[in-house]
Structure 1
């Protein structure tokens, strides 16, 4: 799991670096860019910002999972303390709850 988490973290960090230009502020000089081009640029920027927000959340989850591994707490549900099923961790190595607690939490929301 550790290698998989490290690999995914490196991939996300690379994507963040390569998409930096798309998140920069859009130039509003009408003499240089037409109205539709500006609208397209604003839309691309908004989508890039949202993608980066989601990447950041995933990176935080990965860091938390790596911390749990280092502390010896990985694989245990943060709510009930039971083991998290191996298949669940294989599907999502950043999972913090067992399936029972995840379902219970989902029903409360």
Structure 2
């Protein structure tokens, strides 16, 4: 692929900072939610059946939230890798330029709008 030309108007440094900030935010949110993902104690002496069910449901939701964060973290890391390789700003499917407005909205967007629509 050719070097970035469509991204000349939009500073990559700004997008790199946006991505780094979002990665830090994900790390902080995951650290706060670590207790909710922990093993639920099933001691009937300390909590009732409904409280255990609530705890299990909260644990499942925390794990799902953590999985979404992991997927977003991977998208962001791939965007940083594309920046380092000089391929950022181009669709990974067709190779066309991704609109700067789309990247401003989601710097990790790997597809142009045409490919994203299918």
From 71, 74, 82, the equivalent of 1:60 is: 74
Count of aligned positions: 104
- Tell me if 1:103 matches 2:103: no
CA-CA distance at 1:12 after TM superposition: 0.1
Unaligned runs of 5+ in 2: 1-14
Bigger relative contact order, structure 1 or 2 (CA pairs below 8 A, ≥6 apart): 2
Q: CA RMSD of the aligned region, Å?
A: 0.7
CA-CA distance at 1:91 after TM superposition: 1.2
From 69, 91, 95, the equivalent of 1:81 is: 95
Tell me how far apart the structure 1 counterparts of residues 116 and 77 of structure 2 sit (CA, whole Å): 20
**What's the TM-score, normalizing by structure 1?**
0.93
Tell me how far apart the structure 2 counterparts of residues 25 and 55 of structure 1 sit (CA, whole Å): 20
Unaligned runs of 5+ in 1: 105-109
Tell me how far apart the structure 2 counterparts of residues 52 and 79 of structure 1 sit (CA, whole Å): 28
